[in-house]
Amino acid sequence: MDVADLNPEDGQMRFLPADNRTPVILVTGLDRPTSRRIGDALTSDPGTVQVHHDLSGVGDGRVIRTLTWRESDGRRREVVTVIELAHGCVSCTLREDLLPLLRRLHRRSSVRRIVLTLDPILEPERIAWSIEHVVVDDEPDTPAAPAALDVRVESTIVSVAEELWLHHATGDLGLCEVLPVPPDDERTLAQVAVGQVAFADALVVVGSDPAARDAWESARLMAVLKRLSPRAPMMFELPERPLTPLLVEQLVAAIPPSSRRGRIDGPHDPLLVDQPSLDPDCGVTWMEFHTDRPLHPGRLHDAIDSLLDGVVCARGRLWVATQPDEALWLESAGGGLRVAPGGRWLAAMDDDELARVSPERRALGALRWDDTFGDRHSSLVVLVHRGDPDEIDEALRAACLNEVELAAGQDFWDTLDDPFGRFHADPCDDVDVEAPMVDAPAADRRSGNGRTEDHHDDR
């Protein structure tokens, strides 16, 4: 049986082969109890299995996996398994347990849907990337392949605490200061909070006590959420209106077909996806910065401070004068920022490399092609909530090469001191760890507290 799909480019219906993979819903948020309530609400259907890995005991070397489902007669069943940490690494343990489990659940005729209720320290983007790319090759009578052969990410639901989320997303607390994480996990709370919402297909906002609610702060939070995840339908859980299975299923049904649904964006993809509003609201606005001039590495380093004050997040591509072949990828959340390799410019590629580039990227490159510099450029988007967009723009404009420097050419540019080197993080630290590969997911490209993640390569 085929399914109809609306082509967004011409509005015509296309008929695609039916996708027989088992749908997976990712449920996440910084608050474990709320995520579990959402997961439990989705598991009221007898055809749904909920999978949860509790990592609160990771410091003791164990992970607790819970499978929950309902029998056809409505009885709730639960199976709890204690998993010893493989290699002392959380991501390795989940890779060795979660991905094979997804493939096994797909083969059960009684399972029509899987809900992954994620521990807060597991970022949904990394889980989606692992499902799509990590090969599972030790399942008997099953061909070696990524779990995506059998399952697909249907949606990601993220819970947001009305009172705390914006404070977390704009601060500089380390994740280890709030949640039990492995000692080498140096991500910030802001990274996780912003990353969850930016990847969301639907949001559940957990309301505060009406008597203590600040109307202005609530309005600012809504303005931020609608710009970070513009197409995500939103539901409020209030003390007088708790979550019910019907409400959560209605939220899932309201997710538009064109939502992210596990899609991983790359450094050269559009920076403002889903057409968020560019109009200011409660002081919250997206600002855009574009230039076809290379950036002076020293002045860019100074300008970075403007992205760490009054800003929720920033992301984008940089053309730094001292690095003509490769774009740099900038990503920030709250008070932490990272600049890392972002892939080669089209103008620096040979024919074999160009043949592997998507037609979409080649088309975009052609639209901005310069006879001298090719597709090189800088593009940043910054979500401002208290900062001054004009001051940020002024600081970034000042980082561009001036007329004299531009005319001096690449030989002169190569003599400039480059504080970025292979990569850079702010606040500045002594860092000697090689940056992750650029084809890793954004979750692997980020760092917290100005340091790189020490993670196991899932590829």
Domains of the chain: residue spans and CATH: 22-254 (3.40.50), 285-414 (3.30.1220.10)
pLDDT on residue 263: 94
The pLDDT of residue 11 is 45
User: Per mean pLDDT, which range of 104-113, 179-188, 341-350, 438-447 is the poorest?
Assistant: 438-447
- pLDDT at residue 107 above 80? yes
Query: And the tokens for 167?
Result: 């404070």
The percentage of the chain sitting over the pLDDT mark of 70, rounded to a whole number, equals 87
Contact predicate 435/317, CB 8 Å: no
Q: Where residue 12 falls among pLDDT bands split at 50, 70, 90?
A: very low
Q: How many CA atoms lie within 13 A of 291 on its CB side?
A: 19
Alpha-carbon gap, residue 77 to 430, rounded angstroms = 51
The pLDDT assigned to 437 comes to 30
- Cβ(163)–Cβ(208) below 8 Å: yes
pLDDT classification of 424: cutoffs 50, 70, 90: low
Give the three-class secondary structure for 236. Answer: strand
The tokens describing 415, both together, are: 């003599």
What percent of the chain is modeled with pLDDT above 90? 72
Dist. CA 339–CA 435, nearest whole Å: 10
pLDDT at 426: 59
Q: What is the mean pLDDT of residues 117-143?
A: 92
Q: How far is CA 276 from CA 49, 226, 316, 422, in A?
A: 34, 7, 16, 32
Tell the burial category of 334 from Cβ atoms under 10 Å away from its Cβ (0-12, 13-18, 19+): buried
What is the pLDDT of the chain when averaged over all its residues? 87
pLDDT confidence band for 457 (50 / 70 / 90): very low
d(CA 257, CA 408): 50
Burial class (CB in 10 A: 0-12, 13-18, 19+), 231: middle
pLDDT at 405 over 50: yes
Closest alpha carbon to 163 in 313, 40, 310, 34:
34
What mean pLDDT is predicted for residues 371-380?
97
Residue 433 predicted with pLDDT over 80 = no
pLDDT per position as a tens digit, 69-93: 999 888 999 999 999 877 767 778 8
pTM for the model = 0.86
Q: Which residues of 272-297 are buried (b: 16+ CB within 10 A; e: fewer)?
A: eeeebeeeeeeebbbbebebebbbbb
DSSP 201: S
- How does residue 208 score in pLDDT terms, banded at 50, 70 and 90? confident
Integer Cα distance of 275 and 256 in angstroms = 14
pLDDT bucket at 443, cuts 50 / 70 / 90: very low
Lowest mean pLDDT among 239-248, 253-262, 422-431: 422-431
- Per-residue pLDDT band for 423 (boundaries 50, 70, 90) equals low
pLDDT value at position 455?
A: 30
Q: pLDDT band at residue 459, thresholds of 50, 70 and 90?
A: very low
